Structure 1
């Protein structure tokens, strides 16, 4: 502490130095104004720091010349100090505002909170990945990640397939049934949709058999200036409808029905983009569901919460069936070639 004070004793300033420091402090005042108004979101007269900073230096010089340099250095260092604290404060405030906005958004759209078990599983998975990284780094075997990562991707695809993958696999083995000869159990039918009681879409207010509604948030632009979007909300709802072919008509309870076709019927862009896809009257579609008897009448519905119940465009299904064997052969060959290349690299 004594050395610190003796530094200012040895470096006393005169009137010329004080004038220079007062002028220089106007630049410091500009940074203070930006920091406290921008990062701390404080309201004050714009001239405040432009008067305060030079005044403090001048008053300090009148008290004792050594204090002028002390105050000047303090003001200079305070720019970095308050800037760093302000950035941390603004990040905390922004996270709090985002959390409040998300909670409000979730309440508005009846989105349930992520279960604690799912959060814990995610934390454990992340911890496991970090542990594997440091374990391999300690033994200088990081190159083994080249084998582990493709292996995990393959295991995830093989043991935890998506509902769409299950739908497409089931479609490959189920025969397409004529509606007048549907058997009880999992069935595959194809035909025109008939509206019974239309439902109204949430954003564009369109009457339809069913809708898939998404809200996307605009992200940063890439090097070419193109904007990316992140999905922040989805809603899928389908009412009761009928599907018919040349042999007859069958009723479908659309609760839990998933859409497996790529089509956007209505979209409005901006910072937040809203999109809707509809199931409409007279749409020609391909459907897989569970056929059961309802007071003597056949009805197709979802068998259970984990059951397959989906609808797709017959043209896309036909295209997939035609080229899927070639794609599987290509990907299988590519996978084994990749493993061979990795083995060569590791050795």
Structure 2
């Protein structure tokens, strides 16, 4: 799987270099991004789609269980000193992007301790065996220590833990043991995946949002590319005021409408909330588009049509699915 991610990254980087400052990025990059996200989400998708099995009904094969975990030994985590039955700890130095201010982890040191554990539900108990457990779907505890003299000396500590009594979900391969019972083991194509109810509910809602908005995302992609590469071009003079409004006015209006939506009720609340959310989302999507189109000296008529395609598709998606999206947030 890591090799696959590396190949995808290399191919994506290659396309980016070849097409940098080219309008063909608008057609290619979304497809690459969609493929990358799909591969990165395969485990989450399988986890959400797999139904729970009670321990007394386990049969040989891939299963998903939910229950309380226990283990005979306890460990103390390196940084936060938490008592647990398994942990993943990472210590990393931070470096910062001078333009965006974003931080990146470098020189990471990882320390892990795991052991076989038992998971129990109301129907029984079963052993879970693995050389290591993937805890990336569990909550993380983080502390960042800042050095006021040298930014490169900033350090981030992160820990994920399994504790006695935690209620978790375990997905893995069930096989018969020497006692004619079953245990959960790790196989090359069936790693042991651990999560909890919070992660699964959050992921399920995210997938539902994507499912609701997917038709409008496809509509946006097709309409934008139509005006970019196939539609007749009309020669409009460029209006710098509209460009500035697209960069700065749209997000400001989005914030204003979003605030108004929180202060009113009934239909005005729906109107301002939908419009505010649409403008904020459109500003995020169109900011890199506008930059690229202006740099490549695209016709102003095409720029306006592309912006309107993004706006209309987003407005349709959010307004038609507003009730469903609101229910997911509750």
Q: Considering the TM-score relative to the shorter chain, is it more than 0.5?
A: yes
Q: Does the Cα contact within 8 Å between 2:116 and 2:129 map onto a contact in 1?
A: yes
Summarize the alignment of residues 209-224 of structure 1 with structure 2, pairs less than 5 Å apart. Answer: 209-220=85-96
Quote the residue 1:228 is aligned against: 103
Matched, 1:193 2:69: yes
Q: Does the Cα contact within 8 Å between 1:147 and 1:339 map onto a contact in 2?
A: no
Deviations 1:14-48 (A, max 9, x none): xxxxxxxxxxxxxxxxxxxxxxxxxxxxxxxxxxx
Shift of residue 205, structure 1, vs aligned partner: 5.1
Match of 1:253 among 129, 132, 138: 129
Matched, 1:133 2:13: no
Quote the residue 2:251 is aligned against: none
Question: Judging changes above 3 Å, is the alpha-carbon distance between structure 1 residues 121 and 227 closer, same or farther for their aligned structure 2 residues?
Answer: closer
Deviations 1:179-237 (A, max 9, x none): 1221111110001111222344344554422112122323338789x773425424444
Match of 2:182 among 298, 306, 310: 298
The structure having more radius of gyration, on CA atoms, is 1
**Distance in 1 (alpha carbons) for counterparts of 2:139 and 2:208:** 25
SS of the aligned residue for 2:24 comes to: helix
Quote the residue 2:192 is aligned against: 309
Question: Judging changes above 3 Å, is the alpha-carbon distance between structure 1 residues 120 and 332 closer, same or farther for their aligned structure 2 residues?
Answer: closer
Quote the residue 2:56 is aligned against: 180
**Distance in 1 (alpha carbons) for counterparts of 2:224 and 2:171:** 41
Shift of residue 331, structure 1, vs aligned partner: 3.9
**Distance in 1 (alpha carbons) for counterparts of 2:52 and 2:19:** 49
Match of 1:281 among 141, 161, 164: 164
Q: Does the Cα contact within 8 Å between 1:210 and 1:280 map onto a contact in 2?
A: yes
SS of the aligned residue for 1:328 comes to: helix
**Distance in 1 (alpha carbons) for counterparts of 2:8 and 2:169:** 36
SS of the aligned residue for 1:273 comes to: strand
SS of the aligned residue for 1:213 comes to: strand
Structure with higher RCO (Cα < 8 A, 6+ apart): 2
Under a length normalisation based on structure 1, what TM-score does the superposition of the two structures give?
0.54
Quote the residue 1:13 is aligned against: none
Q: Does the Cα contact within 8 Å between 1:182 and 1:291 map onto a contact in 2?
A: yes
Shift of residue 298, structure 1, vs aligned partner: 1.7
**Distance in 2 (alpha carbons) for counterparts of 1:182 and 1:168:** 22
**Distance in 2 (alpha carbons) for counterparts of 1:144 and 1:291:** 48
Structure 2 alignment gaps of length 5 or more:
147-153, 231-330
Question: Judging changes above 3 Å, is the alpha-carbon distance between structure 1 residues 255 and 200 closer, same or farther for their aligned structure 2 residues?
Answer: farther
Shift of residue 146, structure 1, vs aligned partner: 1.3
**Distance in 1 (alpha carbons) for counterparts of 2:209 and 2:7:** 40
**Distance in 2 (alpha carbons) for counterparts of 1:345 and 1:289:** 47
Question: Judging changes above 3 Å, is the alpha-carbon distance between structure 1 residues 331 and 280 closer, same or farther for their aligned structure 2 residues?
Answer: same
Quote the residue 1:40 is aligned against: none
Q: Does the Cα contact within 8 Å between 1:267 and 1:274 map onto a contact in 2?
A: yes
Deviations 1:87-120 (A, max 9, x none): xxxxxxxxxxxxxxxxxxxxxxxxxxx99xx999
Question: Judging changes above 3 Å, is the alpha-carbon distance between structure 1 residues 316 and 133 closer, same or farther for their aligned structure 2 residues?
Answer: closer
**Distance in 2 (alpha carbons) for counterparts of 1:310 and 1:335:** 32
When the two structures are aligned, how many residues end up with a matched partner? 220
Summarize the alignment of residues 324-343 of structure 1 with structure 2, pairs less than 5 Å apart. Answer: 324-343=207-226
